[in-house]
Amino acid sequence: MALLSLPAADGTALSVRVTGRSEGPAVLLCDGIGCDGYIWRYLRPFLEKSFKVVHFHYRGHGSSAQPEDTGTYTIEQCAGDGWAVLDALGIDAAVLMGHSMGVQVALDAARQNPARVRGLVALCGAFERPLDTFAGSDLAVRALPYVTKWGFRSPDRLRRLWAAAMVPEFAYKFATATELNVRMIRRDDFLPYLAHMGRMDPIVFLRYLESVAAHSARPNLASIPCPVLVIAGARDGFTPPRLAEELARQVPRGELCIVPGGSHAAPLELPDLIELRIEGFLAALA
């Protein structure tokens, strides 16, 4: 395993973990907002058997630097940072694999460099404006301007509130009551996400959330040339399965897999099923 610090185009230091086969084809893992890799716990070992697995922390996430220019906390910048990482590693082409916000990042990366994408796996994510349909309503997107306005005016108060809300036991109970399939997920698999969120600057989170809320890959879907595997949890309340169904229809070479009982954290709830589906997809790319 290689843990590296590699520069983005603007010099921001990005934390990068490279594992798996040194001479194998590359897979770039793209996290969700506020995540530093917890979702790949079961898929990573499977991928490492055949691929060089590259996982980077977005700026302001994990061990990557947090630049003062908050205007760089965008989907487009994350996609560009991913290509900067691959360039620094001397990797010409890769399979892009994204979860949640990482689906938007992967789709934008495919827009930026379509010829360098061998395939794309979209896990439990939307291709445009996910807050418009979050939990089955547009309440989140309507509330966002008021939340960001207050948060940016009162950052210290926001940070105190954030710290109180991210107490692991409270946050886990809330997550299992509202989204996670408690019969399928292991508590210890989800706690790393809560721990990272607790360390994250909520101002950075809100800046990313603004980009997530506004970003749409729809104009570029028809021009994505590579095969795309779209995987959705049947009971995902964050990004409903119908969004995955539409994404699979809109791209020229789309395939769809609905995970029975899966929530937004389906890769932790039913990893064996998802692994088998991804294995078949990647084998067809060879």
Domain range for residue 278?
Answer: 2-285
Q: What is the mean pLDDT of residues 256-274?
A: 97
**What pLDDT score does 2 carry?**
80
d(Cα 117, Cα 11) in Å, to the nearest integer? 24
**What pLDDT score does 136 carry?**
87
**What pLDDT score does 194 carry?**
94
144: pLDDT strictly greater than 90: yes
Give the lowest-confidence range in 1-5, 87-91, 275-279. Answer: 1-5
Q: What is the pLDDT of residues 31-74, one digit of tens each?
A: 999 999 999 999 999 999 999 999 999 999 999 999 999 999 99
**What pLDDT score does 101 carry?**
98
pLDDT band at 168 (very low <50, low <70, confident <90, very high): confident
**What pLDDT score does 1 carry?**
63
28: pLDDT strictly greater than 70: yes
135: pLDDT strictly greater than 90: no
**What pLDDT score does 279 carry?**
97
Are 26 and 93 in contact by the 8 Å Cβ rule? The answer is yes
**What pLDDT score does 108 carry?**
98
Give the lowest-confidence range in 93-107, 155-169, 226-240. Answer: 155-169
Domains in the chain, number: 1
170: pLDDT strictly greater than 80: yes
d(Cα 225, Cα 110) in Å, to the nearest integer? 9
Which sign, positive or negative, has the C-alpha torsion 268, 270, 274, 279? positive
SS3 of the chain = CEEEEEECCCCCEEEEEEEECCCCCEEEEECCCCCCCHHHCCHHHHHHCCCEEEEECCCCCCCCCCCCCHHHCCHHHHHHHHHHHHHHCCCCCEEEEEECHHHHHHHHHHHHCHHHEEEEEEECCCCECHHHCHHHCCHHHHHHHHHHHHHHHCHHHHHHHHHHHCCHHHHHHHHHHHCCCCCCCCHHHHHHHHHHHHHCCHHHHHHHHHHHHHCECHHHHCCCCCCEEEEEECCCCCCCHHHHHHHHHHCCCEEEEEECCCCCCHHHHCHHHHHHHHHHHHHHHC
pTM over 0.85: yes
What are the φ and ψ backbone dihedral angles of 137, each rounded to 5 degrees?
A: -150, 175
Q: What is the mean pLDDT of residues 1-29?
A: 94
Q: What is the mean pLDDT of residues 245-274?
A: 97
**What pLDDT score does 169 carry?**
84
d(Cα 24, Cα 155) in Å, to the nearest integer? 45
**What pLDDT score does 39 carry?**
98
Q: What is the pLDDT of residues 239-255, one digit of tens each?
A: 999 999 999 999 999 99
What's the CATH code of the domain at 130?
3.40.50.1820
Q: What is the mean pLDDT of residues 181-195?
A: 93
Q: What is the mean pLDDT of residues 3-26?
A: 95
Percentage, residues of the chain above pLDDT 90: 92
Mean residue pLDDT of the chain comes to 96
